Amino acid sequence: MRAFYLKNFALAAENFDKAGRQSEEKVRRTERQLSKDKLDVYQNWKLDGNSLSNLYRFSEALERYGRAQEYVSKEKSPEEWAEIKVLAGNARQELGIRVEGDEGPRLLLESLAEYHQVLTVYTREQLPQHWEITQNNLANAYFALQNWAAAVEAYAKVLAIYPDHTHAYSRVSFVYHEVLFKFREAYQLNQQWLIRHPDHLSAHVDFAEKHFTTGRFNECAQRITSLLVNPEVKATSKAALRAVEIATLLALKRGSLIQARLDALIESLGGQPLDFKLTWSFAGILHFIGQEKEVTSHRDWLHQLFSALQKENREAILKALREVRANFKG
């Protein structure tokens, strides 16, 4: 300033240039430090939210993720911005499947919005692993909302890139077979999965059932016979398979074998714990039975059979099965 007022403009220009550069560097240091401090705040709130999520305190976690999101932007920190949106979407989804009334669907729809925004950053081409996780979460939200078509489409995108994705396969298989009753598609999906995963035992169990619901009765019976002697097949799966075998024998007009198969089913369940219960959906089987001419005459009795297996514990199941046995007319 002194040089300027003395009209020594050459010296003033030199001094102002030096001062300007020093001020710029100070601002840059301050901005760098501010950016670092913002990321530190972001990390702390994010990790706080993660800790609360692990404690199933999702409402509190969501509030912490909201705070973290204030310190990042899509333009300056796209990956952090996407990361916190995924976490917020996950918290909303967890809340959505737990709360009752209209609040649940609202939260699930909000989680969908979060994931769709994230996929503009987590692209399949540039960040395939992040894309897969987000796409799978998106599919889970659709599944929870019972938007079956959208769920299948989203899971199918995962399988197209990650054909060994067990969760996506299981969900699509379930929706095809137990909800949409697309038995041919369920069969083909299961078949393709076993080509890649020939040792996946539960998929073999499912495949036996899908032989029944596509009218492949002889091969269904053969597969069930093989699975029933396999010691690695769970007792719950064997109980369900024995019931499917009974339905298969009726379709094959082998009613003379039914009583012996019922006795074997009852005997096998007698050795199970008191709290024994099947976590098995028979919706696909029952729908097929209602449509299939080969078993139509036994439809009501088969409904009783499969309903018996869905009772709350071993004794209730056994009691119902004994009634089913007494009601059988070959």
The DSSP annotation for 130-141 comes to: HHHHHHHHHHHH
Please tell me the distance from the alpha carbon of residue 326 to that of residue 35, in angstroms, as a whole number: 76
User: Do residues 157 and 135 make contact, with C-beta atoms less than 8 angstroms apart?
Assistant: yes
Please tell me the distance from the alpha carbon of residue 151 to that of residue 142, in angstroms, as a whole number: 5
Mean pLDDT of the 191-198 span: 97
Mean pLDDT of the 228-244 span: 97
Cβ neighbours around 160 below 10 Å, total: 11
pLDDT score for 18: 75
pLDDT over 70 at 98, yes or no = yes
Q: What is the DSSP letter of 233?
A: S
pLDDT band for position 13 (cuts 50, 70, 90) = low
Domain ranges of the chain: 1-158, 163-330
Q: Tell which residue, 164, 128, 325, has the closest CA to residue 246.
A: 325
pLDDT over 90 at 265, yes or no = yes
Return the ∠ at Cα 28 (arms to 22 and 31), rounded to 5°: 145
* 200-233 pLDDT tens trace: 999 999 999 999 999 999 999 999 999 999 999 9
pLDDT band for position 306 (cuts 50, 70, 90) = very high
User: Do residues 306 and 285 make contact, with C-beta atoms less than 8 angstroms apart?
Assistant: yes
pLDDT score for 4: 55
pLDDT over 70 at 5, yes or no = no
Residue 258: CB partners within 8 Å, gap ≥ 6? 246, 249, 250, 328, 330
pLDDT score for 295: 86
pLDDT band for position 292 (cuts 50, 70, 90) = confident
pLDDT over 90 at 303, yes or no = yes
State which amino acid sits at residue 105: P
The distance from CA 29 to its chain's CA centroid, rounded to whole angstroms, is 46
Tell me yes or no: is domain 1-158 CATH 1.25.40.10.
yes
Whether 1-158 shares its CATH topology with 163-330 is answered: yes
- Assigned token pair, 163: 């054909």
pLDDT over 80 at 258, yes or no = yes
pLDDT score for 8: 64
Q: What is the DSSP letter of 149?
A: H
152 vs 7, more confident = 152
pLDDT score for 3: 55
pLDDT score for 16: 56
* 139-184 pLDDT tens trace: 999 999 999 999 999 999 999 999 999 999 999 999 999 999 999 9
pLDDT score for 296: 84
Average confidence score pLDDT of the chain: 92
pLDDT over 70 at 15, yes or no = no
* 29-38 pLDDT tens trace: 656 665 676 8
Return the ∠ at Cα 58 (arms to 53 and 60), rounded to 5°: 100
pLDDT over 90 at 293, yes or no = no
Q: What is the pTM of this model?
A: 0.84
Residue ranges of E strands in 189-294: none
User: Do residues 64 and 49 make contact, with C-beta atoms less than 8 angstroms apart?
Assistant: yes
Mean pLDDT of the 73-79 span: 91
Please tell me the distance from the alpha carbon of residue 282 to that of residue 288, in angstroms, as a whole number: 10
Fold of the 163-330 domain: 1.25.40
1-15, 179-193, 312-326: least confident range: 1-15
Collapsing DSSP to helix, strand or coil, 272 comes out as coil
Return the ∠ at Cα 309 (arms to 169 and 226), rounded to 5°: 60
